[in-house]
Structure 1
Amino acid sequence: MEFDPLEVIESAKSANVTKRLPWLNPAVAITVALLATFMGICKVKDDNIVQAMQQAQADKLDNWQFYQARNIREEIAKSTLAQLRLQALAAPVKLQVAFDAQIRAYEGLAKDQNQKKNELKAQAEKDQSTYDALNFKDDQFDLSDAAIAIAISLLAVTSLTQLPWLFVMALFPSGFGVLMGLAGLIGWTIHPDVLIKLLS
């Protein structure tokens, strides 16, 4: 028995297995094009945010390292100051002026290191706040990317199966993805913490 592909096609047409809707494929194509364009715009912004996050993280680490260095310098100055004060008690009167000058110098050094250390701590905490704010936006763009990728997958299956209900179903992750992308672009505070914690 010979296999005739034309007979299979004709029998499928006659059985009305796949009923094509003339509006469905153009609607899918337009939706995919719009989503891909929006996703590309969000990707550019997200990449810039990731770079800024990396810079904020590097700045924070640098400032904490400088903070530790200033802390060590302050402790050394305080230790030297304590030794000078003890030595000054037993020193002859003619050396008291020299000891007093050194004590004042180390008091100034310890105070200076303490002030600079506190400035570095404040800057490191500010860098952490910057990182957290940027991470908030990065989460929004990540959710946008994921939702739009799911939507595009559903739209591809819609085009193959010609099921209009699948097209409608694809609009839900599309809408959520666009909402999260706009939140990241415009600065809205929409941040589904439960979903982000689940995915992180």
Structure 2
Amino acid sequence: MKAHEASENVSEVHERGAKRVALLIATLAALLAIIEVAGGNAEQDAQKSNVDAANLWSFYQAKTIRQTVLRADADRLELDLPAMAPERQEAARKLVAQWRADIARYESEPGPTGGEGRRELVTRAKAAEALRDLSLAKDDMFDFASAAMQLAIVLASASVVVGIGWLAFLGAGVGAVGAVFAILGFVAPTLLHF
């Protein structure tokens, strides 16, 4: 009778351990799902910010080209002024003045959307690049967290299959490391550099 009770006791302990490991695996899988979504969002944010920065730098280049062409045309027209008939000189001076005003506007044109002058475009492009870099750092942290969670699930699953309890503890430890990376991804993605 005692052997039968001991056998039931061992079976009950094994069953409780298996349930705990199953709960650990379920928790790790749920965290993995959250981390994967956050990582996907960070990757999308990085791509959007990269496109925004590229567009702003292209706009900056277009403004620079326009500014350069107008400056060259204004300089050329000013050089031609003495050779012009007096009645055309006044119209040419007005045109040069308008071009110089446009050149100044291309350099700095503050506005409600952040401005579209060269100075404002540089500021906006650098802000988009900073946001891109932050999103990439988040994505890196979430990638590390995801890898750790996947490894933790494999270790915990293996502990059930082969019956080695310390693998479940190792899986929980690796899962905790993954959770730390996930937290860093949310609150301090630039804290660690790899």
TM-score range, shorter chain: 0.7 to 0.9
Supply the distance in 1 between the matched residues of 2:34 and 2:173 (Cα, whole angstroms): 20
Indicate the residue corresponding to 1:98 in structure 2. Answer: 91
Supply the distance in 1 between the matched residues of 2:15 and 2:190 (Cα, whole angstroms): 38
Shift of 1:138: 1.3
Letter in 2 for 1:173: V
Supply the distance in 2 between the matched residues of 1:52 and 1:77 (Cα, whole angstroms): 37
Supply the distance in 2 between the matched residues of 1:89 and 1:34 (Cα, whole angstroms): 84
Shift of 1:59: 0.8
Supply the distance in 1 between the matched residues of 2:24 and 2:190 (Cα, whole angstroms): 24
Secondary structure at the aligned position of 2:14 is classed as coil
8 A contact 1:136–1:191 mirrored in 2: no
Equivalent in 43, 67, 76 of residue 60 of structure 2 = 67
Secondary structure at the aligned position of 1:21 is classed as helix
Consecutive unaligned residues in structure 1, runs of 5 or more: 1-19
Consecutive unaligned residues in structure 2, runs of 5 or more: 1-12, 109-116
Q: Deviations over 1:109-157 (max 9, x none)?
A: 1111222122212111110011111112111111110100111111121
Equivalent in 14, 20, 28 of residue 27 of structure 1 = 20
Indicate the residue corresponding to 1:176 in structure 2. Answer: 177
| 1:167–1:121 distance in 2 versus 1, CA, 3 Å | same
Equivalent in 31, 41, 52 of residue 48 of structure 1 = 41
| 1:112–1:96 distance in 2 versus 1, CA, 3 Å | same
Letter in 1 for 2:155: L
| 1:190–1:66 distance in 2 versus 1, CA, 3 Å | closer
Letter in 1 for 2:35: C
Q: Does 1:114 align with 2:107?
A: yes
| 1:189–1:61 distance in 2 versus 1, CA, 3 Å | closer
Q: Deviations over 1:52-82 (max 9, x none)?
A: 2221111111111111111110010011011
> Percent identity at matched positions?
24
Supply the distance in 2 between the matched residues of 1:78 and 1:44 (Cα, whole angstroms): 51
8 A contact 1:21–1:162 mirrored in 2: no
Indicate the residue corresponding to 2:165 in structure 1. Answer: 164
Q: Deviations over 1:73-105 (max 9, x none)?
A: 001001101101100133233332122111101
Shift of 1:190: 6.7
1:140-159 → structure 2 map (5 Å cutoff): 140-159=141-160
Indicate the residue corresponding to 1:84 in structure 2. Answer: 77
Q: Does 1:188 align with 2:188?
A: yes
Indicate the residue corresponding to 1:124 in structure 2. Answer: 125
Q: Deviations over 1:140-184 (max 9, x none)?
A: 111110100111111121111111222222222111101111222
Supply the distance in 1 between the matched residues of 2:190 and 2:86 (Cα, whole angstroms): 72
Indicate the residue corresponding to 1:8 in structure 2. Answer: none
Indicate the residue corresponding to 1:9 in structure 2. Answer: none
The alignment covers a number of residue pairs equal to: 174
Q: Cα RMSD between the aligned structures?
A: 1.8
